[in-house]
Structure 1
């Protein structure tokens, strides 16, 4: 159809009625956001001449997206999470906040509740014959380079099959396998003893991959390790490192790769003395530099739905 009706009074009144705009009732912010998003959708339908079949295919897709529990995965795959990082980067520049370890996306697979250990944590709780041992260690400091005591470093990553514990469709992993948390001492040091991860792909029959297929895009990520780093006197850091040499480092479907987040991987020996599965192991040294609070406030904490297994972690201890 060549007809365009978005600008008509009838449609504009429909938008106001649908979002209850112009009344005192309801949440003003929610109404303003819904009105804008619904308006953009109506305008797009007009301008792209979307058919009813296409609209209902989209509605059905949203139903499948919810049933598959992949909304957060799709947010990463379509660059929404990366866009939020870019906005926070820009806000930091505007506020003249410079330096510190670069942020990058959280992703959808964090689980709260891992036991916090002092200095060092071994997190390969389950056997994984296909993965070699890995130590990730470093120092947490402020922008001045002074080590920070009582910083908490949380770490999580996939196993050699590309699955994260708790979300593993095979049921082969315990809830906190390859997940851990370390509190730094006066030297600011942390260390995780773990196994080398691999990248993962979106569930092949899931809603995210369904849309990516239509866009002729793959749904794969390079091998990586996630981190939250917190301290009472700094802003929370959400970041991840890529494993050097992975062929998908610069072809990540979630756009999370940043130049300063690809540390060198070093070959070491002496793993048996450290309790590792093999004497030969790989080591990554990665130091975190945290940025100060803004007017006493941590403006980097993001409220979003996350799995929280704190009680089960306490019971397991």
Structure 2
């Protein structure tokens, strides 16, 4: 059947009613978005002649896999698309330059210890893991040091597990997580046990979808960052290890040009020098974080 069926008077009337278009209450913006979203879903159903069984299997998948939506969204490219969309809006507004943004991922935990100086991220034993040393500067668009910046940094351990989300229960709160308060020179430094790449949970909803699409669910070794400072736009980004075999084939589309440093490996240590450049904030909203739901834990004293 042709997709023009969706434009039939009966279906269009159904869309208006479903989205509350004719009702006086509610949020007009949400109504418009919801109507377009439902119409798009209807168009896909007609275009691909989705059967009743296929439709309800999809509903079952979404219901059972809801706990992995934080992985499914980047896995199908939607989180990366948001970055591309924001980049395009910036370019249209003449806002260019700065370190590229990239996906946040679902594994940030608020409340990490706030420290100064050369921060030690790893507090748990991680036998056999090499040491990672990372340092650099945070500057503004004119190259000026950014004073009083806070660098939020988090990454997995050498087994690919993040504290707070580790199913083994072996990591202490905020292992490999810190907030680093910078001084007037805008420089940061930390050391930790080097993270490894990892795959999505085997047999889980994301893995099932990736296999059905003929794709893998692997990420390269990487380190996440938020960088916030008064007067500057908060940056959400991550660096991916440029020598990781999945650096060019990240299932979550998190790798971007300019975010792929190759560690300088010397014996049992790896060194990364990486500078961040922030954009100036145009309003208070620029200095904040998105409204994304994030995990939180009780703050603890830094080790």
TM norm structure 2? 0.95
In structure 2, distance between residues paired with 1:164 and 1:217 = 23
For the aligned residues, what is the CA RMSD? 1.9
In the alignment, which of 157, 178, 187 is matched to residue 155 of structure 2? 157
Q: Secondary structure at the match of 1:70?
A: helix
1:35-84 Cα offsets, whole Å, 9 max, x none, are: 11111111111121110000000010011111xx1112111000001100
Cα pair distance change 1:199/1:266, threshold 3 Å = same
Structure 1 match to 2:21: 21
In 2: Cα distance, 1:5 partner to 1:297 partner: 42
Asked if the contact 1:4–1:47 (Cα under 8 Å) also holds between the matched residues in 2, the reply is no
2:264 counterpart SS class:
strand
Question: Residue in 1 aligned with 2:299?
Answer: 313
- Note closer, same or farther for the CA distance 1:300–1:241 as it changes in structure 2 (3 Å cut): same
On the 8 A contact 1:159/1:198 being kept in 2, the answer is yes
Q: How does 1:125-204 map to 2 (within 5 A)?
A: 125-204=123-202
Long gaps (5+) in structure 2 = none
Are 2:160 and 2:196, in contact at CA under 8 Å, matched by a contact in 1? yes
Pick closer, same or farther for the CA change 1:102–1:256 going to 2, 3 Å: same
Q: How many Å apart are 1:148 and its aligned residue?
A: 1.3
Shift of 1:12: 1.6
Unaligned 5+ runs, structure 1: 270-279
Distance 1:105 1:316 in 2: 27
Extract structure 1 runs of 4+ deviating beyond 4 A: 1-4, 314-317
2:282 paired with 1:294: yes
Pair 214,87 (structure 1): closer, same or farther in 2 beyond 3 Å: same
Change (3 A) 1:38 1:241: same
Equivalent runs, 1:74-93 vs 2, <5 Å: 74-93=72-91
Contact 1:4 1:46 in 2 (8 A): no
Q: Secondary structure at the match of 1:42?
A: helix
Please name the residue that 2:204 is paired with.
206
